[in-house]
Structure 1
Amino acid sequence: MPLETLPETTLFTDPTRRALDGDGARPVRVHLWRADDSDAPLVVLSHGTGGSAQGLSWWVAGLRAAGFDVAALDHHGNNHVDGYLPEGFARWWDRPLDVSFVLDQVEARGPVAVCGFSLGGYTAAALCGARVSAAAYEALLTGRVEAPPTPEYPHLLSALRARRSASELASWPGRAAADLRDTRVTAAFLLCPSLGPLLTEGSLAAVTVPVAVRWTAADEITPPSENGARYAALIPGADGGTVGGPRAGHYGFVLPEQDDPAAKSDVVAASRDFLAATLRA
């Protein structure tokens, strides 16, 4: 379902944060669908690294059909619609802050959940209390530990060092490790979530809201054993499991040439049932 049919698309600006490419306020584009039900729960959708709200239109359509209000975000500097900025691939904390900002702007007529794919899955988890290890983040930022390749932004570290001072970069590990929990978020659905190895066990064990996690068996971008399965094992009561067939990978949800209708159908059904049980209980 193309996003051009949305009844409301708004480019908000957050005056508390600067844009990554200038001195203005940080932009946060939101595509909003409203259900007929006047007290419909609100589901906020966060895309993966380098993606966009448009790329998850199949998920939006499934959530809309289930009667939810849906707000799908485009994260500044990390979406292919507006173009990439290196900071958008490293300042992970800006994504959950985007969601919290949107919840300040968009009326939630019922309970709120966050769903996300890949880095969007981390985003949803962070809003439930998952926290990055400052030491692990610093090791990646300084290059002491080699970061996994970022296909959408190769040479990320050199690009960051060319644009940001050493003193500013030195402050980022503390910001990455901050508690970004938002108590308005009452459930989360994580699809092939990333950053699993960088999250502290204690923060995952302290999550108290219902969480569902789904992954694909052949995902080489966010391997389940280190990511989705780790989230599911450490978050108390998390509902975890595999979607799609044995060859289903990471990009079948977002790349047309790897389109995986079976995996998408599984996600729509699983998220619909989980959200109905948790938000409409």
Structure 2
Amino acid sequence: MTISGQEEPLVRVLYDESRRDLREPGRPRPVRLYVWEPRDPVAVPAPLVVISHGSGGSGSDMGWLVHPLVESGFRVAALDHHGNNFVDGYEPEGFLHVWEQPRDITFALDALAREQPLGPVGAAGFSMGGYTVAALAGARIDPQVLLGIAMGAAPMPALPEFPDALDALLKKYSELELLSALESAAADLSDPRIQAVFQVAPGIGRFLTPESLRTVRVPVEIRWAGADTISPYEEDTRPYLEHIPTADGCSAGPDVRHEDFIGPDPAAVRLRVGKEVTAFFVQHLA
């Protein structure tokens, strides 16, 4: 994808041998990686920002975050999270086993570090990707909350791209298998290489433990959508803002919707937030 004269990213699929493919259990988990190199690095090695997309999205569709960073001298890597991207299609685990997404980023960083030294590393994420990057800084899920949803004792949040995800998951796995998977939900997924985090309209905040959020020590900046009905402020942004000691942020606008951060056209709010993300990482990584 070329935007505003930007070069195409290097695209490749890596395979995590420690986890399985959701469609073919005998194969390793695929992690598609898009890497943009800066023409004029701000430093050598260039600081790296990893980007996590929202539910049903793709790293290839995050140009509004990618290109301001690349133009400012950052190296940028975006991912496709297996089972939760429009390139390969959807699987219920991709939407509900959200703790696998931070592991995708750590796996990708390990692979990139084997190829060349990494500069300072930051992480930015939209929607579910906002949870993903917070988990890399120490946020942890409360598995009891997820268990309540699985058992029908608590409401399932909206998943517009896969509204029947929970039913599909319950048909695919036995109760014992689901309970075993939930044991992984509360794991510490922090990555010490992450030095700063930017969340845009973050999701999953209602599922996180305040205790884990209080352990976050890296700078965290947040932008939320004032008219968001997918990841509402009270349920999904306030927990990050109130419990993370280093968190700061503001609304992207009272009339901004979650959907305004999605789509091919460069909406004004995306252009503005993309510049704010870049300024944040210039301050903390460059």
Q: Which amino acid aligns with 1:28?
A: V
**What do residues 65-98 of structure 1 show as CA deviations (whole Å, max 9, x unaligned)?**
1111000100100001111111111111110000
Show the 5 A alignment for 1:192-203: 192-203=201-212
Give the ranges of 4+ consecutive aligned residues of structure 1 lying more than 4 Å apart after TM superposition: none
Amino acid at match of 1:147: M
TM-score by length of 1: 0.94
Q: Distance in 1 between matches of 2:254 and 2:221?
A: 20
Give the alignment partner of residue 214 of structure 2, picking from 205, 216, 229. Answer: 205
**Match in the other structure for 1:104:** 110
Match of 1:247 among 235, 255, 266: 255
2:32 matches 1:29: yes
SS of the residue aligned with 1:175?
coil
Unaligned runs of 5+ in 1: none
Equivalences for residues 176-191 of structure 1 within 5 A: 176-191=185-200
Q: TM-score, normalised by structure 2?
A: 0.92
Equivalenced residue count is: 277
- Partners in 1 of 2:166 and 2:90 — Cα distance? 14
The one-letter amino acid of 1:230's match is P
In the alignment, is the contact (CA less than 8 A) between 1:210 and 1:238 conserved in 2?
yes
Give 1:225 deviation, angstroms: 2.0
Is the 8 Å Cα contact of residues 46 and 116 (structure 1) preserved in structure 2?
yes
Aligned to 2:160: 151
| 1:84 aligned residue | 90
Q: Give the superposition deviation at 1:226.
A: 2.0
Q: Is the 8 A contact 2:64 2:271 kept in 1?
A: no
Specify the code of the residue in structure 2 equivalent to 1:77. Answer: G
Map 1:65-144 to 2 at 5 A: 65-107=71-113, 109-144=118-153
Structural mapping, 1:11-50, within 5 Å? 11-22=13-24, 23-35=26-38, 36-37=40-41, 38-50=44-56
RMSD: 1.6
SS of 2:158 mapped into structure 1: coil
8 Å Cα contact 2:158/2:230 also seen in 1 = no
SS of the residue corresponding to residue 225 of structure 1 reads helix
Alpha-carbon shift at residue 261 of structure 1 (Å): 2.2
Please list every run of 5 or more consecutive structure 2 residues that lacks an aligned counterpart in the other structure.
none
Question: Quick check: 1:229–1:240 contact (8 Å CA) kept in 2?
Answer: no
Secondary structure of 1:171's aligned partner? helix
What does the per-residue CA deviation read over 1:161-203, in whole Å, with 9 as the maximum and x for residues that have no partner?
A: 2211221101122211111011111111011110111111111
CA–CA separation in structure 2 for the residues paired with 1:14 and 1:220: 34
Whether 1:277 and 2:286 are equivalent positions in the alignment is no
